[in-house]
Amino acid sequence: MKKTIDISHEESLHQKQIMEKLSHSIKDKKLKYHVSTFGCQMNAHDSEKLKGILEQIGYIPTEVEKEADFVIYNTCCVRENAEQKVYGRLGSLKNNKKRNPNMLIALCGCMMQQDTVISEIRKTYKHVDILFGTHNLYKLAELIQTRLDTGKMVIDIWENHKEIVEDLPSIRKFSFKSSVNIMFGCNNFCTYCIVPYVRGRERSRKPEDIISEIKELVADGVVEITLLGQNVNSYGKNLDNPITFAKLIQEIEQIEGLERIRFMTSHPKDLSDELIEVIRTSKKLCNHIHLPFQSGSTNLLNKMNRKYTKEQYLELVRKIKEARPDVALTTDIIVGFPGETEEDFLDTVDVVKQVEFDNAFTFIYSIRTGTPAATMEEQVPEEVTKDRFNRLLEVLNEIAYKKSVEKVSGTYDVLVEHVNRQNDNLVSGRLGSNNLVHFEGSKDLIGKIVPVKITSAKSYYLLGEHVTK
């Protein structure tokens, strides 16, 4: 165990030395960078680390991609349209590079873990400078140095993860809330999902490293943290000294100054009674759980390799609601998985009606090459899938509106996040249940948790008024 700790620490020092070296040649040039993030919250959090490294080197952020001297795309491959967006934007970057020959372009993230993508970029997009994957984000400074030294395209893709490197810089989107990775990778191998192949197998961070990071964030003004993992419920199983996710939350709750704890994503098969008890008793855990069920059909759940049944999912929801009656449940749903019949689809609608989700992320199934589902027979015709998708949305929207209306006249604590983008007289924030609310207020409320009385409701947001003494 000591050897792993030493390797991680030495690698962190090595990368910081490279950042320091690069900063001497970059910081006086006032070079600008732009990061575009595709995909999930894990990618968004990874991008915060990339920004931290770039600013440590001396790059200055810009919101305008055309102005940037360094452009990086943090990519996603969960759905094909995300990949096509990246290819489309890479084409336009070629003209930017003609105008600014010293500009650097880097690609990282899940797309880069696929051999076919690397081959396509090497052949068609030779203006790209740096390619790296999901396992070695912390090496960005070293890769930039290598590109500057050699003048050639740098490709550094690892098939498997190595050590988890701690203590590297990060630039947060919000000063008052932050995401914290507690684990990386996934062991579930759902048949529609490419994540285990591109992010590797599960490995958990040591609890003391997680606690230390959160304490530093709280000391820096953070009041809300979101614990991130592809399946947070299986946290700790691969540690030398195993610890459950429930125990980790209890330790985090003891941190002075931390007001709110969230987590995602939660896999139903691993959500334990121990965690449900923590959900019931915790004073800081938000009353919001994202619990993907994907399909209400036990037959399809088996084909998806989800390892639970419709009945087991509903029983789990019953126990969660019994423990925390005010809980807001959100979910992921796939429509049109291979072999889905009308009866299967109606099972999905039945789960939606029984659970009454506050919100749902709904997806039309798309083939991902390299996954078992891609070669399954009985691919559902597009017109059938779209019809079912629209019917499902009608049910979801009706329930979401009903759930929103139930909050009218109630007063809730809201973490104010920003001035409203449509009306400068309003600010926007989130309840513990994750409902978005807009209310009249000034920018000095940003980052504060304030009481708000809900005055009216739409399907997916609320309107309210600040309650002052």
* CA-to-CA separations, 152 to 125, 127, 143, 148, 443, in angstroms, rounded: 13, 10, 11, 8, 47
| pLDDT value at 153 more than 80 | yes
Check residues 369 and 267 and name the one with the higher pLDDT: 267
Which tens digit of pLDDT belongs to each residue from 191-223? Answer: 988 877 777 788 899 999 999 999 999 999 999
Average pLDDT, whole number, for the chain? Answer: 90
pLDDT one-digit tens code per residue, 417-441? 999 988 989 999 999 999 999 999 9
Given a cut of 50, whether residue 5 has pLDDT beyond it is no
3 pLDDT exceeds 60?
no
**pLDDT average, residue stretch 306-332:** 97
Crossing angle of helices 245-253 and 273-281, in 10° steps, is 20
* Res. 102: pLDDT tops 80: yes
What does the pLDDT average to over 143-159? 88
Q: Could you give the domains of the chain? A: 2-156 (3.40.50.12160), 177-405 (3.80.30.20), 411-466 (2.40.50.140)
Q: Tell me what pLDDT residue 4 has.
A: 41
Q: How confident is the model at residue 385 (pLDDT cuts 50, 70, 90)?
A: very high
Average pLDDT over residues 160-174: 65
Residue 2: per-residue pLDDT: 35
Confidence of residue 461 (pLDDT cuts 50, 70, 90): very high
14-62: per-residue pLDDT in tens? 888 888 888 888 877 889 999 998 877 778 888 898 999 999 999 999 9
Task: Name every residue whose Cβ is closer than 8 Å to that of residue 242 and which is 6 or more positions away in sequence.
Answer: 236
State what percent of residues in the chain have pLDDT above 90.
64
Relative to beta strand 426-431, strand 411-419 is antiparallel
What residues form DSSP beta bridges with 33?
A: 61, 70
The pLDDT of residue 390 is: 96
pLDDT range class, residue 168, cuts 50, 70, 90:
low
Q: At what angle do helices 2-26 and 140-150 cross, to 10 degrees?
A: 50
At 270 the pLDDT is: 95
Among 136-150, 323-337, 394-408, the least confident range? 136-150
Q: Which residue has better confidence, 40 or 154? A: 154
Largest CA distance in the chain: 65
DSSP one-letter code for 283: S
For residue 383, the model assigns a pLDDT of: 95
- The amino acid occupying position 61 is P
Is pLDDT above 70 for 466? yes
- In degrees, rounded to 5, the angle at the alpha carbon of residue 51 between the alpha carbons of residues 45 and 54 is 150
